Amino acid sequence: MKRPNKPRELTGRHVLLWIVGFFAVIFAVNGILVRAATSTFGGLETQSSYKAGLMFEDEVARAERQQALQWQVDGKLVRDLAGEAVLDVSVRDAQGAPVSGLSADATLAHPADSRLDRVIHLAGSGAGAFHGADIAQPGQWELIVDFYRGDARVFRSRSRVTLK
């Protein structure tokens, strides 16, 4: 004759172990997610929103002055045989003549992770023409080219490019 099985008894100790285990899992998962979030975020657009807001009027004035110049900026970004990203940029005025007396810097800004941004130092290669190269990963980038007269930025060109 079989004896009926005695049902398991739920004691206070079992309940305590289940509660402690539950919260241990929650804290462990939260710790992993917080670490992942803080170590992988590189998309910070500005260090200080307040300072960026104060500079807004200045940026609007710069954009209006730039629009009045009616310059045309053409650029070509290709990868050479050595694997470097090579950038050639030309700038022409409203009548189509090359603009001289400028210096230029270019930045390949990654759209999602500012830690991957690359600065391409451009050297003049003729009137209104600039050339530079740097190492960059393939993918989509925002190409930002700044033109200067002395220390003052007079023109900024922004465009989305794909580097293969």
67-115, pLDDT tens digit by residue? 999 999 999 999 998 889 999 999 999 999 999 999 999 999 998 888 8
The CATH number covering residue 100 comes to 2.60.40.1930
Does some domain include residue 48?
no
Does some domain include residue 103?
yes
Does some domain include residue 114?
yes
Per-residue pLDDT of 120-163, as tens digits, reads: 999 999 899 999 999 999 999 999 999 999 999 999 999 999 99
Does some domain include residue 153?
yes
Distance CA 8, CA 119 (A): 68
**Pair 72, 92: CB distance under 8 Å:** yes
Q: Is the dihedral of CA 128, 134, 139, 142 positive or negative?
A: negative
Does some domain include residue 12?
no
Does some domain include residue 39?
no
Instruction: Please state the pTM of the whole predicted model.
Output: 0.68
Does some domain include residue 24?
no
Q: Which domain holds residue 94?
A: 71-163
- Give 92's contacts (C-beta < 8 A, 6+ positions apart): 71, 72, 73, 74, 98, 99, 128
| Structural domains of the chain, count | 1
Distance CA 108, CA 114 (A): 10
Does some domain include residue 138?
yes
**Pair 100, 65: CB distance under 8 Å:** no
